Chains A and B, each alone.
Chain A
């Protein structure tokens, strides 16, 4: 086995062939055995394999795009499980974007936010209120519900509103540090949920615990988005934007100051980093991703109510970040995918299987132990185990390594250029 991996290492052609073979086999099995969840999961697994190949980055992106846009929707489209697969894939996309948002706050800036789902709720309610008749209760002008075409603008509005709330939360919280911050954000998350739950009087804004029903589906040029396979592409588009944004941020000046603040606030401040601005940016950007996905969530579910935004959700997103690796983009994507699929598919499938067994009388299986109810247990165990044994997560964050020699040469070249430039200036003067 070791020999085999050694041989594969460095041999790009073999890696490509293996990858293509893997994709072909899994897509064929999914195509033939439509009802098999395993085939679908193995299919998604190909993206992880792709990550570990040694191909150039650009080629990896292209292959990932082909698999996500072409292969997965196509091979699963023929069978009865199509919509449920696409549903899973869409939800995975939504959680990946949120986890990437939380990753900026927790992983890069080191600010533990336990009320992150609040921003998701804000995004969802922003669209939910205006895309149902609800807004007519308090808006003096306008014709509600807005048409489905406004969805595209609302993605941006949701993003801004969530970012605004991120800043609003951030301003008071910045004076608080470390573990107090965790408690305050936790309180903030609960406050938002309670407020949404009770804001049906004196003016009915959120319709309280009843929730907002029949939210308008998105629409463009008369084409309506109703089914999960259509939302899949919207989510994919937003996700692409989010991933690109996160990667750009991570290695930019802001990203580096986030990391500096995470490592040591006082040292970072003495290096001239503006603490307030840096932290507020982390909150705002993290929240904005969540807000965008909140809008998509509201449109996809066509129903918004406060029970979707409990503390358990916030902790679920935190588990995704911790499991994948704080600060590591590929890790967080993997963590979000694993946890979502565990939640939606694996736990329910195992529960059904066990129930079937106990119906057949093979084993007696108590209802209380149903894995679908054990989320808290599983998440708690993951948090403890990863905190103690692998705090860096499944795919640890990597810092770019610079070759000292080439840097020196670079700077020499740079200096030479400067030297050559300087006399010019002198002449002109």
Chain B
């Protein structure tokens, strides 16, 4: 059994890191908003999904006009990424303005309900625009970066088999690393980042220190949503087919990642995302083997939620978070 697990390990690692990178960036959006507003932004998964649709729509449009063939594919992708992230960023700001800001002083339950409403609204909005334009809401993007590479793990040791990955996986991982480093720099080293941390710590005191709280919250939503939208595009390029309902479960798992890393903690969310991606891929590949055929790969979602529940019960502050006691 161990030999079989080892055999597939290199491939599991590569797939896991690719999936984990996606979880990590989406988890950033959850964790940033939670850190500042203490609100689970249910709509974040849908922003990711909308980003994927905007990106694919633009790629299809560019193919139709012949631009994609005219310019290098990487340049086209960067262009699409930038435009999509700006659009989804403004979408996030708009959602905050319309659905969350009027409720900032209401009970948490009400804000959460509004967030669920936004999430459902966006799913259907994207569904009917896509269906109206294309007759079907399941969309397949133009195939890009499909070259396969093999890493010869078998030459290191015969107990491993070779791992394969596509160029898009490489692009995905590189872009995610760039995004994370940039965000980490922004939050920790710039003035606006300091303002964000201040608002997250204590909103009222921050506003006394002449920080424009509303602006900082808008900025947080902009950054989180822009990152989410860009990840959506990368997801669509990596996995090919998208539908309007991918955002919800993926968002839920990304939230799990955020909780795993300690909610409100940006570096924790990155680590949690990678960890969850690896665990999930490992479970999908080996669950059947480990449980003697009792549980199959279709239980991988159950596995992710079980992790969430276990973490929340035994270590609700997450692996890298600080425990907070509630003040009366």
Contact = CB atoms under 8 A, between A and B. Distances in A.
Interface in B218-277: 248-249, 252, 255-256, 259
The interface residues of chain A, by DSSP majority, are classed as: helix
A299 to B, nearest CB: 29
Interface stretch (A83-91, A148-156, A186-194): A186-194
A175 B118 CA distance: 28
A262 to B, nearest CB: 9
Contacts of A366: 132
Given A198-B298, A377-B125, A179 B293 contact: no
A172 to B, nearest CB: 5
A1 interface: no
Contacts, number: 138
B22 to A, nearest CB: 19
Contacts of B76: none
Interface in A352-389: 366-369, 373-377, 379-384, 386-388
Contact of A381 (B39, B102, B121, B302): B121
A144 to B, nearest CB: 24
B296 interface: yes
Interface string B287-317: 0000001101011011001101100110010
Contacts of A384: 98-99, 114, 117-118, 121
A375 B316 CA distance: 35
B40 A387 contact: no
Nearest to B292: A202
Contact of A182 (B112, B114, B121): B112
Given A194-B298, A376-B124, A187 B308 contact: yes
Q: Which of A106, A322, A380, A381 has the most CB of B within 10 A?
A: A380
A376 B121 contact: yes
A330 to B, nearest CB: 20
A318 interface: yes
Contacts of A180: 259, 312, 316
Interface residues of B, number: 53
A178 B309 CA distance: 14
A146 B128 CA distance: 46
Interface in A88-118: 106, 110, 112, 114
Given A202-B293, A369-B132, A179 B316 contact: no
Contact of B120 (A194, A369, A373, A376): A376
A173 B305 CA distance: 13
Interface in A162-188: 172-173, 175-176, 178-180, 182-184, 186-188
A368 B296 CA distance: 36
Nearest to B248: A311
Interface in B84-121: 98-99, 102-103, 106, 108-114, 116-121
A194 B301 CA distance: 8
A176 B311 CA distance: 10
A133 interface: no
Contacts of B131: 367-368
B202 interface: no
B116 A318 contact: yes
26 contacts: A172-B309, A176-B312, A179-B39, A182-B40, A182-B112, A183-B40, A183-B255, A187-B308, A190-B305, A191-B305, A202-B293, A267-B328, A311-B248, A369-B128, A373-B128, A374-B124, A376-B121, A376-B127, A380-B117, A381-B117, A382-B117, A383-B113, A384-B99, A384-B114, A384-B121, A391-B110
Given A172-B313, A374-B128, A391-B110, 20 more contacts: A114-B116, A172-B309, A179-B38, A182-B40, A183-B308, A187-B252, A188-B305, A190-B301, A198-B299, A201-B296, A366-B132, A369-B128, A373-B124, A373-B127, A374-B124, A380-B120, A384-B114, A387-B117, A388-B102, A388-B103
Q: Which 6 A-B pairs have the closest CB atoms?
A: A383-B117, A380-B121, A380-B120, A368-B131, A187-B305, A377-B124
